[in-house]
Amino acid sequence: MLNISAARRAGRQQVELNIAPLIDIVFILLIFFLVTTSFVQQTGVDVDRPVASTAAALGKTGIMIGITADNRVFMGNREIDSRTVRINVERALVENPDAAVLIVADRRSNTGRVIEVMDACRLAGARNVSMAAGLDETAGKP
């Protein structure tokens, strides 16, 4: 422990303060916060979601897949071929096996493409595959 008055009495002019333990603690805290932070991945494309009166908020979603009005598929801010959805979802599930898949499809997208993507997600091993919808604010009002 640092005793400044004893150091002055002993005639030493300089008092050293060791900050190495402080730097170690700061780096440990930084690593802790980086490890415990969950990163939400976006689809990489803006879509016009359909509304539903029974829409409910989901918790954390791990894998987001976007389908545009012209039936292009996006995952992780990049366009992917619809035939590679299964491989990409399998790769994402290796990193987080309990991740939920959220498909964000434009209201003008082809239903066949949406079903194709949902099927590929389930074949990849995803246990929780959901569709995104906006909440219909007028539902249930007279």
Q: What is the CATH number of the domain that holds 75?
A: 3.30.420.270
Classify residue 29: in a domain, yes or no. yes
CA distance 74 to 78: 5
Classify residue 43: in a domain, yes or no. no
Instruction: Establish how many alpha carbons lie within 13 A of residue 66's alpha carbon, considering only the half-sphere containing its beta carbon.
Output: 18
Classify residue 42: in a domain, yes or no. no
Note whether 76 and 30 are same-domain residues.
no
Note whether 69 and 101 are same-domain residues.
yes
| Residue 120: predicted pLDDT | 93
| Residue 47: predicted pLDDT | 62
Total domains in the fold of the chain: 2
| Residue 119: predicted pLDDT | 93
| Residue 88: predicted pLDDT | 92
CA distance 131 to 124: 17
| Residue 34: predicted pLDDT | 79
Classify residue 84: in a domain, yes or no. yes
Note whether 98 and 72 are same-domain residues.
yes
Q: 96 lies in which domain range?
A: 51-135
Q: Tens place of pLDDT for every residue, the chain, 142 residues?
A: 556 666 666 666 666 788 888 899 999 998 888 777 766 555 566 666 666 555 555 555 578 899 988 999 998 888 998 889 999 999 989 888 888 898 988 888 888 999 999 999 999 998 888 888 765 555 555 4
| Residue 100: predicted pLDDT | 87
Following DSSP, what letter does each residue of 64-108 receive, concatenated? Answer: EEEE-TT--EEETTEEE-GGGHHHHHHHHHHH-TT--EEEEE-TT
Note whether 58 and 127 are same-domain residues.
yes
